[in-house]
Amino acid sequence: MQFADYESKTLTELQKIAKESGIDNYTRYRKRELIYELLKVLATQEGRIFSQGVLETLAEGYGFLRVDNYEPGPDDVYVSNSQIRRFHLRTGDLVAGQVRPPKDNERYFSLLKTQAVNYLDPDSYQERTYFEEL
């Protein structure tokens, strides 16, 4: 399932899925938080790694998901320039998705698939207004 599939369900339906998936304290989550938890479980079951963090874009065009305290660290996830452009990502966005471990000459995990941006489906998120244009 993808983010949009979960988004179309009611909170009650999501809680039922969460219970079946073995998520603890699933009733304490709001809908979007529960969707994140379900995506984590799904990624784990499929042998994939799920991560989320706050994006920091660099002048070179690529960026990193800052996982711990918004500061650079060893758990950061590399985000390619192509994903930043495709989803119109900006510094400060909360990004979640599937990641892969670093290859031989790489230092960081890399974002493979963007599944959510600021708790929204990334495909529908592209039409947002810039603060400066309000």
Dihedral in degrees, nearest 10, Cα atoms 126, 111, 92, 60: -90
Same domain for 56 and 109, yes or no, is yes
- Residue 78: closest CA among 90, 67, 92: 67
Is the pLDDT assigned to residue 46 strictly greater than 80? no
- Tell me, what's the pLDDT at 91? 93
Is the same domain home to 56 and 37? no
Query: Are 8 and 63 in a shared domain?
Result: no
Count: domains in the chain: 2
For residues 25 and 62, state if they share a domain.
no
What is the pLDDT averaged over residues 55-66? 96
- Span 116-133, pLDDT tens digits: 998 888 887 667 776 677
Question: Tens of pLDDT along 13-36?
Answer: 999 999 998 999 999 998 878 887
| Residues of the domain holding 109 | 49-117
Exposure string of 37-60, with b = 16+ CB inside 10 Å and e = fewer, is bbbbbbbeeeeebbbbbebbbeee
- pLDDT, tens digit, 9 for 90 and up, residues 91-106: 999 999 998 888 888 8
Q: How open is the CA angle 66-70-75, to the nearest 5 degrees?
A: 35
CATH number assigned to the domain comprising residue 86: 2.40.50.140
